[in-house]
Amino acid sequence: MIEAFANHLSSHLGRHLFYWAIESSSATSGNYGLNLRLSELINKFHGPLERGVQVLDHLLTLEEDDFAGHWGSAYAHNYEPEYAAPVPENEELPPPEHMETLNNGNGLLHSPPHNHQQQQQQQPRGGGGASPAGGGGASAGADHNIQITQPISAPSSPLASPGALNSSSSSSGGGGGSGGGLSGSPTAFCLPSSSAAAAVAAISATPTSGSGSYVCSAGTNWHFAAVAVSNAIDTADPNWQASKATVLERNAAMFNNELMSDVKFIVGGEFDIDPIQTIPAHKYILATGSSVFYAMFYGGLAENKQEIKVPDVEPTAFLTLLRYLYCDEIKLEPEHILATLYAAKKYIVPHLARACVNYLEVKLTAKNACLLLSQSRLFEEPELMQRCWEVIDAQAEMAVKSEDFVDIDLKTFESILSRETLNCKEIHLFEAALNWALNACEKMSIDDTPQNKRRLLGQALHLIRIPTMSLEEFANGVAQTGILSSQETIDMFLHFTAKMKPSLGFPTRSRAGLKTQVCHRFQSCAYRSNQWRYRGRCDSIQFSVDRRIFIVGFGLYGSSTGAANYNVKIELKRLGRTLAENDTKFFSDGSSNTFHVFFENPIQIEPECYYTASVILDGNELSFFGQEGMSEVLMGNVTFQFQCSSESTNGTGVQGGQIPELIFYGPTTVTAMSSPTNSVCATPIGGGTAAGGASLTTAPGTVVSNGSSGSANNSNGSGEDLAGDGST
The DSSP secondary-structure symbol of 503 reads: P
Give every CB contact of residue 658 below 8 A, 6+ residues apart in sequence: 532, 539, 556, 557, 615, 617, 623, 625, 626, 650, 652
Give residue 88's pLDDT.
45
Nearest to 554 by CA among 516, 590, 526: 516
Poorest-pLDDT segment among 75-89, 319-333, 462-476: 75-89
Q: Return the pLDDT at 304.
A: 86
What is the rounded distance in angstroms from the CA atom of residue 10 to the CA atom of residue 50? Answer: 8
Q: What is the dihedral of CA 94, 97, 102, 107, to 10 degrees?
A: 150
The whole-angstrom separation of Cα 573 and Cα 226 is: 53
Helix (H, G, I), strand (E, B) or coil at 599: strand
Partners of 594 in beta bridges:
557
Q: What CA–CA distance (Å, rounded) separates 295 from 463? A: 46
Lowest-pLDDT range of 176-180, 526-530, 566-570: 176-180
User: Are 107 and 114 within 8 A, CB to CB?
Assistant: no
Q: What is the mean pLDDT of the chain?
A: 70
28: pLDDT confidence band, cut at 50, 70 and 90? very low
Bridge-based pairing state of the strands 538-545 and 611-618: antiparallel
Mean pLDDT, rounded, for 490-502: 92
Highest mean pLDDT among 85-89, 256-260, 471-475, 715-719: 471-475
- % residues pLDDT > 90 (the chain): 41
444, 424 in Cβ contact below 8 A?
A: no
Q: Which residues on neighbouring strands pair with residue 526, listed in sequence order?
A: 625
Residue 244 has pLDDT above 90, yes or no: no
| β-pair type (307-310, 263-267) | parallel
**Cα angle value 586/592/595 (rounded, 5°):** 25
State percent of the chain over pLDDT 70.
58
Q: What is the pLDDT of residue 537?
A: 85
Provide the 3-class DSSP secondary structure of residue 587: strand
- Grade residue 684 by pLDDT with cuts at 50, 70 and 90: very low
Pair type for strands 564-574 and 577-588: antiparallel
Domain at 116-121+144-327, CATH homologous superfamily: Potassium Channel Kv1.1; Chain A (3.30.710.10)
Give me the helices (H) in 541-580, please.
none
Split at pLDDT 50, 70, 90, the class of 581 is: very high
Q: Which long-range contacts (CB under 8 A, 24 or more apart) does 85-89 make?
A: 85/3, 85/4, 85/7, 87/3, 87/54
Q: Which residues contact 727 (CB under 8 A, 6 or more apart)?
A: 721
Mean pLDDT of 140-152: 36
Rounded CA-CA distance 128/340 in Å is 37
* Stretch(es) of the chain classified as CATH 3.30.710.10: 116-121+144-327
Residue 19: what pLDDT? 52
What are the CA-CA distances from residue 18 to residues 27, 137, 626, 645 (Å)? 14, 40, 90, 76
**Angle subtended by helix axes 382-394 and 369-379, to nearest 10:** 160
**Residue 265 predicted with pLDDT over 70:** yes
Q: How confident is the model at residue 334 (pLDDT cuts 50, 70, 90)?
A: confident
Over 80: is that where the pLDDT of 644 sits? yes
Contact 183, 144 (CB under 8 A): no
Which residues belong to CATH 2.60.120.820 in the chain? Answer: 517-711
Q: Is the pLDDT of residue 129 over 60?
A: no
Provide mean pLDDT across the span 632-658. Answer: 91
What is the dotted CATH code of the domain comprising 517-711? 2.60.120.820
Q: How far is CA 596 from CA 511, 537, 545, 578, 584, in A?
A: 22, 19, 21, 20, 11
Confidence (pTM): 0.58
Of the candidates 118, 148, 121, 119, the one whose C-alpha atom is nearest the C-alpha of residue 259 is: 148
pLDDT at 529: 52
In the structure, what pLDDT confidence band is assigned to residue 681 with cuts at 50, 70 and 90? very low
pLDDT value of residue 566 = 83
Residue 609 and residue 544 in contact, taking contact as beta carbons nearer than 8 Å: yes
Each residue's pLDDT tens digit, 203-225: 233 333 333 333 333 333 322 23
Round to whole Å and give the CA distance between 489 and 492: 5
Q: How many CB atoms lie within 10 A of CB 242?
A: 8
- Residue, of 5 and 225, whose pLDDT is higher: 5
